[in-house]
Structure 1
Amino acid sequence: MNKTFSTLVLFSTLFVFSACSRNPVTGKRELSLMSTEQEIAIGKESHPSVVSTMGLYDDKKLTDFINLKGKEMAKISHRPDLPYQFYIVDSPVVNAFAVPGGYVYFTRGIMAHFNNEAEFAGVLGHEIGHITARHSARQQATQMLGTIGMIGGAILVPQLGQNLEALQQGLGLFLMKYSRDHESESDKIGVEYSSKIGYDANQMANFFSTIKRISDNSGQQVPDFMSTHPDPADRNRKVKEMATAYQTQNKATYQVERERYLRMIDGILYGEDPKQGFVENDMFYHPELRFQFPVPKGWQHQNSPAQFQMAPKDGKSAMILMLAKGNSLEEASQTLVKELGLKVLESNRTTINGNPAYVLISQQQPQQQQGQPQQQQDPKTALQIGTWLIQYNNAVYALHGLSAAGNFESAYRSFRPVAENFRALTDQEKINRKPERVQIRTVSREGSFREVMGTLGMPANRVEELGVLNSLRPDDKVARGTLVKIIGR
C-alpha cells in the first residue's frame, strides 16, 4: 500500500512539473492543463452555442466600436497573438463575459448602461484580463486537483467518505473564493489595459456603483462569501485606489468621452425585445411565433431566443418552453426519451385548444457507467418531468415541468394549467408591440434629476430605473445642456 502510494505521489509530482508553465500576466510558474491551442479550440466550439442561445445584436456602429477598441487593447495586452473577437449579444441582462481563446461578449443591456467610453474600456480590460491571465485554465487545474485531493482523502482516510457531501460543498466555497481572486486580478488588469489605451480608469470604478444599484434593486443580494464576484462597493473603492496609483505613476491626460458614447448608443434596444416574447399581467406572449400561455403568479422568469424558463421563488420546481426536435409528435417524443434517458411512466394523446398534443410523465434515469451495475436512486429525489408536446403552426413545442418526484404531484397542479392554456395569440396590440429604446436628450434647464425626467415626460415610478441607467440619483443636480438617457418606443 505504501509503495503504491509513493509511486502515485512520484507520478503526480512528475505530471505537475511537466504541466507547469509561466503565467503571461503574473510571470509565475503554475500548473496548466490547457494549452493555447486548446483555449482557442474551446472558444471556437463555444461561440456557436453562445450565439444560438443569446443571439447577436445587429448594430454595425456599436459592433465596429467594440472591435476597434478591443483590437487596440489586445495589442497592448500580455497575449497579443491570440485571435481576439468581440461581440454584442442580444440580451437585456447587464453583463459581459469572456471565453478562452480570445472571445469577448457584451450584452446590449450593459452597453445601454455604460455612460461613457471609459466605463466600457474598463470592463473590456477586465474581460480581456480573464483571457490573458488564463483564468479558465487555472480554474480547471485547481478544480481537478481539489477533486483529486478530496477523493484521495476519502480513500486513504475512510472516515472522510462519510462526509463527502460536506467536502464537496467546502470545495465549492473554496472555488468561489478562487473565482473572486480572479475577478480582483482582472479588475487590476482592467485598470492597466484601459489606462494604457488612454481612458480614465476611475470611470471603471464608478460603473461598479451602477452594478450595486442594479443588485440592490433586484432584491436578490447574495452574501459575499457565497458570491463568485467581490462586493461591488468594495470593488469600487479598490479600483479607484488602483486607478489613482496608476495615474500618479503614469502622468498623462486620460479620456472619458461621455458625449461621444451617448450619441453612439442613441436608439439601442432597452429591456426585453417584444418580438422575442414578453411577460405582461402573468401571461407570456410571443408575437413572432403567435402563441401565448400563462405564467403562474409570483413566478420568476427568464427569456432567451432559445427557451423561456420560469420557476417559483422556492426553487422546488421549474418550467421550460423550447422547440422540440422532430417534425411530428411521435418523432419528438421518441427523440426526447432517447436523448434525456427518460423512463416513461405515463403517456397519452390529447388536444390543447385545438392543437394536437402528447403528454408524457417521466423520470430521468441515472447514467450507468460502463461495466458498473445500474445505480439506484431515491424515488423521492429523482427528477420527474411532465412534458407537453404541442403541434402548432408547423412546429412542435415542448413545455417541460420539472420537480423532484416527491414534490411532483403538488408541482403538477401548477404545471397543468400553464400547458392547457397554451393557445394562439390573436391580440393585434400584443402582436405589434414595439420595443423600448434608449433615447438621448439634451437638458433644457437646470434642475434635479427627478425634475429633469419629469420635464422630459418620464413617469415618476421610473425615476430610480432611469437613475440607474444614467448613473444619477433623484436629487442630483443636472446642468442645462447635459445629455441624458430617457426610455421611449
Structure 2
Amino acid sequence: MIHLLLTAVMAGASAGCAMNPVSGTPDLVFMSESSEVNIGSTNDAKIREKYGVYDNPELQAYVQQIGQKLAEQSHRKNLGYHFTVLDSPEVNAFALPGGYIYITRGIMAYINSEAELAAVLGHEIGHVTARHGVRQHSAATATGMVGAIIGVATGVRVSQDLFNVLGNAMLSGYGREHELESDRLGAEYMARAGYDPQAVIKVIGILKNQEEYEKKTAAAENREARIYHGVFASHPSADKRLQEVVGEADRYKTLSAPYVGRENYLKQIENLSFGTVKKAGVLVGNRYYLPESDLSFDFPKGWSVQPALTSLTTVSMASNDQQARLQLDIHDLDKDVTPDEFLKRHMQLNDLPKGESVKGLSQPSFTTILPMASGFSANETRVTVMHYNNKRLLLQGTAKTPGAFATADRVFLALAGKLRPLKAEEKTAVERRGQGQRLRVIRAVSGDSFATLAKKSTLEKYSEETLRLINDKFPDGEPQAGESIKIIE
C-alpha cells in the first residue's frame, strides 16, 4: 500500500516539473515564477525590519547599480532585482527567491574592490537564477507530501517546517554543489559585465581568513561565529574544484583588462559603520541596553550574547558551556490580543499547557513550558510572553538535556522579571557608547605598521588582527607607503 501511495505522490510531483532557467533541464518545483517573486516581495519587509536598512542612500545606490549591471548578464534578466545593504555587523550576504538580494555592511568592511563586491553579489544572483531557494522549498514540500502519505498509511505523523528549511538555507548555505554552481554563475556574470572572475577566488580567500580567525575568537569567547555561508572548508588557494568552476568564466570576458575598481570602492565605503551600533543593543558591564525599545536587563551570570544571531528585534544568548540558549524577540503590540492568545497564534497551537503570569510584572504576561523539539534540543522550551509599553516581548529558552533545562529554567524566569526601561543617565551614556566605530580610508606613509595603527584605533580587542583582515594583509602583511588602507576610528 505504501509503495502505491508513494508512486502516486511522485506522479503528482512530476506535474510540478519546470525547465531550469540555467541548465535548460527539467526541475522538480512546485512554484511558479510569479509565486517565487511574491515570496521575495512578502518577506522583504520582514528582512528589513529584522536587520534594518543601512542609512546611506549613496552606498545603497552604488550597490544597486553594481547588482543591476550583473543581473543584466544573468539567465533571468527579466526579474526585477532588488539589492539592499543591511545595517548589520554580521559578515553575510543572502538572497530571497524572486530577485531580492541582501548584503550586510559587516561583509562590506572586508571587501577591497568593486570587483570583489561584484563577486559576492554575483554569487547571490546565481542562487536566484538557478532557483536554489525554490528547489529547496520544493524538495521540502515533496518530503512533506510523502510524510503525510506515510502518516495515513502507518499512523506515524511526519511534519516539515518549510519556512525554516528555506530560511536556514538562505543564511547557512545550500550545500557544496549549489554553492559551487552559484560561484560558477557569478563568475560568468562578472566576466560578461567587464570584471575579472578571479575576484571570486580573491574575495573568498579574504573571507576564509576572516572565518578561520573568527572561529578561533568565537570559541575563546563562547559565542557564535560571524561567517559568510559561501565559503567552503578548504582555502580557495587549495580548492581545485572552485578554481575550475571560476576558470570556466574566462571565455566570457569582454575586456582584455577587466575592471577592478579598488579606489572607487574604498571611496564608497568611507565612513562605513563598523561593529555593533546602538540600535542592535549595547552591552555595558553585565547589563544589556536596547535604546530603540527603551529596554534593558541584567545579563545572566555565566551567559554571553550571541552577536551573529542578534538584530534590531532579536537578542540571542547562550550559557558559557553552550548547554542552554535563550532568545528575546520584540514584536509590535496588539492590545486586543492577550499574551496566551498571541502565543497560540505564533506557535500555531490549538491548546496551551497550563501557565501563569510572571511574578512581579504589572503588565499582562503569560509563561509556560512547551514540549518542543528543535535542532538544538529535543526537550522542553520555556516560553514567556509579556506586554512592555507598546511592545510585546517573547522569550524562548531551551537546553540540550533535561538536567541543563532544569538549571537554566530558573534563569529564564528570573530574566523575565528583570526587564526595565533605561534611566535618563543611561540613555545618554548608551547613546555615546553605542555610536560604534567608523571605517576610514587613509594613505599609508613610510613607517606605518598595523601594530602602530592598532594602537590609535578605537577597537577594544584584536585590533591589529582586525586591521590586517579588513585590508587583506592577514596574517602578517604590512601597509606599503602610498597605499590606500582601511582603519577603524
User: Which string of whole-angstrom CA distances, capped at 9 and with x for unpartnered residues, describes residues 201-223 of structure 1?
Assistant: 2222122223223322333699x
Aligned residue identity for 1:311? A
1:334-483 aligned within 5 A: 334-337=341-344, 339-340=346-347, 341=349, 343=352, 345-348=354-357, 350-351=359-360, 356-358=362-364, 360-364=366-370, 383-387=380-384, 389=386, 391=388, 394-398=389-393, 400-403=395-398, 406-407=402-403, 408-426=405-423, 427=426, 428-433=428-433, 434-454=435-455, 461-473=462-474, 475-483=476-484
Distance 1:30 1:323 in 2: 38
Work out whether residues 191 and 239 of structure 1, in 8 Å CA contact, stay in contact via their aligned partners in 2: no
Aligned to 2:263: 259
Q: Which of residues 188, 191, 194 is equivalent to 1:192?
A: 188
Q: Quick check: 1:113 aligned with 2:110? A: yes
Does structure 2 retain, via aligned residues, the 8 Å contact 1:381–1:406? no
C-alpha spacing 1:74/1:461, structure 2 compared with 1 (3 Å): closer
Q: Supply the AA of the counterpart residue of 1:364.
A: L
Q: When the two structures are superposed, what TM-score results if normalisation uses the length of structure 1?
A: 0.80
8 Å CA contact 1:71–1:84 kept in 2: the answer is: yes
Q: CA deviation at 1:112?
A: 2.0
Please tell me the residue identity of whatever aligns with 2:201.
A
Q: Are the aligned partners of 1:288 and 1:431 in contact in 2 as well (CA < 8 Å)?
A: no
Among candidates 304, 310, 317, match of residue 299 of structure 1? 304
Could you tell me how far apart the structure 2 residues matched to 1:20 and 1:326 are?
42
Distance 2:152 2:346 in 1: 34
Inter-CA distance 84–288: structure 2 relative to 1 (3 Å threshold) = closer
The answer (yes or no) to whether the contact 1:324–1:389 under 8 Å persists in 2 is no
1:38 to 2:45 alignment: no
Q: How far does residue 258 in structure 1 lie from its aligned partner after superposition? A: 0.8
Q: Quote the Cα distance in structure 1 between the aligned partners of 2:197 and 2:112.
A: 13
**Unaligned runs of at least 5 residues, structure 1:** 166-170, 368-379
Report if aligned partners of 1:448, 1:476 keep a CA contact under 8 Å in 2: no
2:162 is aligned to: none
Structure 2 residue 101 is matched with structure 1 residue 104: yes
Matching of residue 282 in structure 1 with residue 277 in structure 2: no
Q: 1:132 to 1:292 in 2, by over 3 A?
A: same
Shift of residue 239, structure 1, vs aligned partner: 4.0
Q: Secondary structure at the match of 1:308?
A: strand
1:247 lines up with 2:254 in the alignment: no
Deviations 1:185-213 (A, max 9, x none): 00111111111111122222122223223
CA displacement 1:334-367 (0-9 Å, x = unmatched): 4335544463534246546xxx245533133789
CA distance in 2, matches of 1:115, 1:288: 32
In the alignment, which residue of structure 2 is the partner of 1:485?
Answer: 486
CA deviation digits over 1:101-130, x for unaligned, max 9?
111111111122211101110111111111
For the residues of structure 2 that align with 1:400 and 1:13, how far apart are their CA atoms?
41
Change in CA separation of 1:155 and 1:57 when aligned onto 2, cut-off 3 Å: same
Alignment deviations for residues 400-435 of structure 1 (CA, whole Å, 9 cap, x no partner): 242369454422222244333323323232233322
The equivalent of 2:324 in structure 1 is: 316
- The aligned residue for residue 375 of structure 1 is none
What's the offset of the Cα at 1:397? 4.5
DSSP 3-state at the match of 2:175: helix
Counterpart of 1:258, as a letter, is R
TM-score (norm 2): 0.80
Amino acid at match of 1:230: F
Do the aligned partners of 1:292 and 1:425 also contact (CA within 8 Å) in 2? yes
Seen in structure 2, the aligned counterparts of structure 1 residues 276 and 17 have a Cα distance that, compared at 3 Å, is closer
**Larger radius of gyration between Structure 1 and Structure 2:** 1
Q: In structure 1, what is the Cα distance between the partners aligned to 2:341 and 2:6?
A: 46
Contact 2:387–2:393 (CA under 8 A) maintained in structure 1? yes
- Among all aligned residue pairs of Structure 1 and Structure 2, give the percentage whose two residues are the same amino acid: 27
Q: Deviations over 1:303-347 (max 9, x none)?
A: 21222221225343423142463348x844543355444635342
Is the CA contact (8 Å cut-off) linking 2:236 and 2:243 kept in structure 1? no
Distance in 2, matches of 1:472 and 1:142, equals 42
Please state how far the C-alpha of 1:448 moved relative to its aligned partner: 4.3
What's the offset of the Cα at 1:31?
2.1
Equivalent-residue separation in structure 2 for 1:455 and 1:346 (angstroms): 54
User: How many pairs align?
Assistant: 452
Measure, in 2, the Cα distance between the counterparts of 1:397 and 1:243. 48
| Structure 2 CA distance for aligned equivalents of residues 454 and 127 of structure 1 | 37
Distance 1:298 1:45, change over 3 A: same
Q: Is the 8 A contact 1:109 1:271 kept in 2?
A: yes
> Aligned match of 1:326 in 321, 326, 334?
334
Structure 1 distance, partners of 2:147, 2:338, is 44
Following superposition, the deviation at residue 267 of structure 1 comes to 0.7
Structure ranking higher in strand proportion: 1
The answer as to whether partners of 2:359 and 2:417 remain within 8 angstroms in 1 is no
One of 84, 91, 103 as aligned partner of 1:94: 91
Q: Which residue of 2 aligns with 1:24?
A: 21
Are residues 401 and 23 of structure 1, via their aligned partners in 2, closer, same or farther at CA, if it must alter by over 3 Å? closer
The match for 1:231 among 223, 230, 233 is 233
Q: Root-mean-square deviation (CA), in Å?
A: 3.8
